[in-house]
Every structure is written in C-alpha cells, then in structure tokens.
Amino acid sequence: MSTKNFKETTLYKKAFIQAMEIFEVTKSFPKEEKYSLIDQVRRSSRSVCANLAEVYRKRQYPAHFVSKFSDCDAENSETRVWIDFALACKYIDDNSHKTLIERNEEVGRLIAHAIKNPEKY
C-alpha cells in the first residue's frame, strides 16, 4: 500500500464493489428493515473501505497499522453475518447469497494476507 493510493489497491477495489453490491441488493428489502438490517449491512460493508483509508494513514506506525487491518476484518466478518440474515429472512435467494459470500470471503482473504504480511503494504 505504501507505494500507491489505497484506492488503487485490489483490496479496496474489491471491498468497494462488495459495498456497492450490498447497496443494490438491499434496495429491494422491506421498508421495516430500513433502520435495522439494511442500515447494518450497508454500514459494516462501507466500514471496510473507510477503515482501509485509515490503515493507509497509519502505515508509519506498524502496530496501529495491523490493528486497523484487524478493524477491517471485524467489519467484513460482521457484513457476512448480515448477509446470512438476509438469506434467512428470504430477502435474497441462494444464488445472491452465494455471490455475496464469495465476494466477502475474497475480501477477507486479502485482509488476512495484509495482517500476516504488513511489510508488503
């Protein structure tokens, strides 16, 4: 990450796509979910991106740098839980769930790589 803008990283791009896919999917959720499931899943998925911006600014402090990546991981894990709830509530079908989970797992693998190899970022 240190050689380029965080928005140019594969991790940020994939996390941003995840957040936008969730935004689009949640547009069809029932109105009664506006202040619960919709807000929660949108917030957590967007927080992955926001935390990546903070990560980039903390790269000169190695411990804090890894800690902020850990925050990204936590938000990404929370996003997965909300995606599972969306399936259980029948707001999305199995195919949509599979697609969203695959994206979420991909983002999670990239975050895990960054946590294990901070010197590469």
pTM of the model: 0.91
Alpha-carbon distance of 119 to 8, in angstroms, equals 18
Structural domain boundaries of the chain? 6-120
Please name the fold of domain 6-120: de novo design (two linked rop proteins) (1.20.1440)
- Report whether pLDDT(101) > 50: yes
Q: Give the DSSP letter string of 29-79.
A: S-GGGIIIIIHHHHHHHHHHHHHHHHHHHTTTSHHHHHHHHHHHHHHHHHH
- Report whether pLDDT(112) > 70: yes
Q: What is the pLDDT of residues 19-77, one digit of tens each?
A: 999 999 999 999 999 999 999 999 999 999 999 999 988 888 888 889 999 999 999 99
Q: For residue 108, count other CB atoms closer than 10 A to its CB.
A: 18
Q: What is the mean pLDDT of the chain?
A: 93
